[in-house]
């Protein structure tokens, strides 16, 4: 599970930076950039939540995060 989570974080950061750059020119990509940025801020904000120290809770939240990122990114 942690490998999938690490890949999701990496993909979200890379995609966020890519669509941020393109979004400056093409406004349609700005929506995806904003959503990825919001998800990243939410995740970072939850890092100090004590319930995230429980492995089962963390695994569930990581899976939810991965799904939200996948739903933002295009599936081509």
Q: Decide if pLDDT at 22 tops 70.
A: no
Q: Decide if pLDDT at 26 tops 60.
A: yes
Return the pLDDT at 2. Answer: 60
Q: Decide if pLDDT at 14 tops 90.
A: no
Mean pLDDT (the chain) is 78
- DSSP single-letter state for residue 48: T
Query: What residue has token string 């492995």?
Result: 55
Return the pLDDT at 76. Answer: 44
* Contact criterion met (CB below 8 Å) for 65 and 74: no
* Contact criterion met (CB below 8 Å) for 46 and 61: yes
d(CA 49, CA 34) in angstroms, rounded, equals: 24
The overall pTM is greater than 0.85: no
């Amino acid at each position: 599970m942690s490998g999938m989570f690490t890949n999701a974080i990496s993909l979200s950061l890379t995609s966020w930076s890519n669509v941020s750059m393109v979004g400056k020119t093409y406004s349609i990509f700005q929506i995806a950039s904003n959503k990825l940025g919001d998800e990243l801020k939410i995740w970072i904000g939850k890092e100090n939540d004590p319930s995230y120290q429980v492995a089962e809770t963390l695994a569930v939240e990581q899976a939810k995060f991965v799904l939200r990122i996948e739903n933002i990114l295009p599936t081509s």
